[in-house]
Amino acid sequence: MTVARAPAKVIVTGEHFVVHGQPALAAAVNLYSTVAVESGSPGTVEISSSELGIDASFQTGAIDEKNLEGPERSILEPLMLVVERTLERAGSKGLGLRLQVKSQIPVGVGLGSSASTAVSTAAAVAHLLGLQLDKGMICELASVQEQYIHGKPSGIDATTTTYGGVVLFRIGQSPNHLQPAEEVRIIIGNTGTARSTGDLVSKVSHRVQLGDRDLVRISDSAGQLTLQAADAYKNKDFQQLGRLMDENHELLRQIGVSTPQLDRLVKAARDAGALGAKLTGAGGGGCMIALSRPADDKSISKAIDAAGGRSYIVAIDRLGVRID
């Protein structure tokens, strides 16, 4: 048996706009998906997860329809694609596998659950099959699920969860890996409201395609803001980074992807002493994040809970995907 795990991710600045060529700053955090894989019956792949609510099998190259009805299809099919792509890479299409998936990452709330699970799946299956893959190859294999789910993904989720750490990302360029800082904490606040990343990204993209001048202007502003945020992080100017996160949240409000719930959690975090706070991910529900000094993280966490969210105090994951 082989076991691999990969972290969740948060977008510090730049979500939505990254799809249109602007930079984004992201961080891997210590919530994990874990995939254990072992050999199974020839030609059959079994995938189960109590956390994700899936338990099904399929013949390699074909989906077993009777086991894939309802909402579990949207979770399971991307994993099937990752497994099949990895089997093809190994020249082992007829091999049988059993996968047990565990996850600490809430689904559909902007923390990269699908990317993390895909990355840990690709790494575990590849290792079991004896494939010697570097992280770039694992990221490539895992990215098939983002294409399936989001249509036109930026690639930032798979990149961040594969490599770990803090990443300045731009489509078409090599990611710039920044040294993680110990002087600040990230507190996640989950509204508990799931949403479709693909739908939200598509709506914003449609406005760009129609030539919405306000959106183009906001996108350019967000790109400049992210470059300033990366500099602030590198220089450990966390007061400035927090201010830029606040500004980024306002830009996301202007394009209509925040919600009253998210705004309420953001305000609660700021009032409790956060250096900055904003929604993270596609918006429309999901999660927000707050930047905090270590001395303030518990009070900010309590304020988020009191405002109706579920808080997580997280640390930066430095390693990305690994075999346990």
Domain end marker among 147, 177, 207: 177
- The number of domains in the chain is 2
CA distance 142 to 120: 8
**Would you say residue 321 lies in a domain?**
no
Selecting among 134, 157, 214, 220, the annotated active-site residue is: 157
307 and 243 in a single domain? The answer is yes
101 and 209 in a single domain? The answer is no
**Would you say residue 207 lies in a domain?**
yes
**Would you say residue 234 lies in a domain?**
yes
For 75-91, what is the mean pLDDT?
A: 88
Domain end marker among 177, 200, 225: 177
76 and 139 in a single domain? The answer is yes
**Would you say residue 319 lies in a domain?**
no
Contact status, residue 80 vs residue 7, Cβ threshold 8 Å: no
Judged by DSSP in three states, 308 sits in coil
H helices of the chain, where?
72-90, 113-128, 135-150, 156-163, 197-209, 213-234, 238-254, 260-271, 297-306
* pLDDT score at 66: 41
The verdict on whether 157 is a catalytic residue reads: yes
107 and 137 in a single domain? The answer is yes
Domain end marker among 177, 210, 237: 177
Residue 147 has pLDDT above 50, yes or no: yes
Which residues partner with 29 through β-bridges?
Answer: 8, 316
Q: Which CATH number covers residue 291?
A: 3.30.70.890
**Which of the two residues, 62 and 246, has the higher pLDDT score?**
246
pLDDT, one tens digit per residue, over 65-80 is 444 455 566 678 888 8
- Cβ burial of 268 (10 Å; 0-12, 13-18, 19+) is buried
**Confidence band, pLDDT 50/70/90 cuts, at residue 53:** confident
Q: Which CATH number covers residue 80?
A: 3.30.230.10
CA distance 133 to 139: 10
- The domain containing residue 256 runs over which residues? 180-314
169 and 205 in a single domain? The answer is no
Contact status, residue 58 vs residue 80, Cβ threshold 8 Å: yes
pLDDT, one tens digit per residue, over 261-301 is 999 999 999 999 999 999 999 888 999 999 999 999 999 99
Q: Compute the half-sphere exposure of residue 26: CA atoms within 13 Å on the CB side of its CA.
A: 33
**Would you say residue 254 lies in a domain?**
yes
For 297-310, what is the mean pLDDT?
A: 98
pLDDT, one tens digit per residue, over 181-191 is 889 999 999 99
